[in-house]
Structure 1
Amino acid sequence: MSLAINWSNEQEEYEINDGLIALLESILQKAGEAEGIEKGEVDLTFVDNERIHELNREYRGIDRPTDVLSFAMNETGEDEPEIIYAFEENDELGDVPNALGDIIISVTRAQEQALEYGHSLERELGFLFVHGFLHLLGYDHQDAASEAEMMSKQEHVLAQVGLTR
């Protein structure tokens, strides 16, 4: 098993097609390769602004829509028990995947940002996906140095799949 996306579409504004999913799978492989992650699963959900607003308010205490949310399975916070889902090979169970976490993307916000930045929706969705993936691995952008590191990693992966500005 390599890196895989389990995806669902909970919005009606944009048709999610096989070409987009193939592009995102390619981005996942390149980002995983760059980070030394060979196996695992990412759950990806496409939503609208209303739904991501609800999730942002509920889980982050921020009462407005955002573009992408990430919920890592392999991280622990101060008050959270340590739960690590490791990839194992078991004769009875088969392959048990490393559940990396959930990425939720607002297609509404992605469309707005694509227009604002003057690039394609596919490029914006790719950017948000790799951004969310890096958050699953523990990257953040709380200061200028960490933001620059994340941006560099994101742009490198996007360039590899031909999604430049």
Structure 2
Amino acid sequence: MAQRLPWRSALSPLRNKIKMPTITFKAVGVNSAYRDRDELRKWLCAVARYHGHSIGELNFVLMTDKALLEYNKRYLGHDEYTDVITFDGQTGTGISGDILMSYERIKENAASFGVSIQHELRRIMVHGLLHLLGHKDKTKAQRSSMREMEDVWLKKLA
């Protein structure tokens, strides 16, 4: 879906032409939970590089359940809560897109899995990036493969 979302930078075309990776972390309607942003940027670039890609512009947006539900309804036609939605914003060289994440789902998942909010946030971030890199999670086998890749990359960040 190549629609422009509110936080997309007007400089995106310029950044893509000069191959300057841009990774932003935003929080809309919730407190920011991002920690060690420079470390996260390096980690995300390493994930993309391992899969044979570079990063153009990535926007990670943490928001409320209600806000993410509206995006899910409007753009995907799904009337259900989710933890992450990925919009492919590919316009030039490098992987580009918007990864929208629900803070409430992340907190709930962290409690369910017995991990920290930071751990679950990072899982959701790499999950979104893996989607932009072409990985799917529609079937049981695909979900299992995606989870394995998430686990590998989470261990590399730890």
**What TM-score bracket applies, with the shorter chain setting the length?**
0.7 to 0.9
**Which structure 2 residue ranges, 5 or more long, are not aligned?**
1-18
State the partner residue of 2:154: 158
Structure 1 residue 109 displacement after superposition: 0.9
Mean Cα deviation higher: 3-12 or 58-67: 3-12
State the partner residue of 2:104: 108
Q: How many residues are paired up?
A: 140
Quick check: 1:30–1:157 contact (8 Å CA) kept in 2? Answer: no
Structure-1-length-normalised TM-score: 0.76
- 1:39-59 CA-to-partner distances (Å, cap 9, x unmatched) read 422111110111001111111
State the partner residue of 1:66: 82
Q: Superposition pairs for residues 36-51 of structure 1, below 5 Å?
A: 36-51=52-67
Structure 1 residue 31 displacement after superposition: 1.2
**Which structure 1 residue ranges, 5 or more long, are not aligned?**
75-84, 88-97
Quick check: 2:55–2:96 contact (8 Å CA) kept in 1? Answer: no
State the partner residue of 1:15: 32
Structure-2-length-normalised TM-score: 0.79
Identity of aligned residues (%): 26
User: Which aligned segments of 4 or more residues in structure 1 are displaced greater than 4 angstroms?
Assistant: none
CA RMSD of the aligned region, Å?
A: 1.9
Aligned residue type for 2:92: A
Matched, 1:136 2:132: yes
- 1:22-48 CA-to-partner distances (Å, cap 9, x unmatched) read 343233123112212234221111101
Quick check: 1:27–1:130 contact (8 Å CA) kept in 2? Answer: no
Q: Superposition pairs for residues 76-95 of structure 1, below 5 Å?
A: 85-87=91-93
User: Matched residue of 2:115: which SS?
Assistant: coil
Quick check: 1:49–1:108 contact (8 Å CA) kept in 2? Answer: yes
Structure 1 residue 69 displacement after superposition: 0.4
Q: Give the distance between the partners of 1:99 and 1:145, measured in 2 at CA.
A: 25
Determine which structure has more spread, i.e. the larger CA radius of gyration.
1
Q: Give the distance between the partners of 2:111 and 2:42, measured in 1 at CA.
A: 24
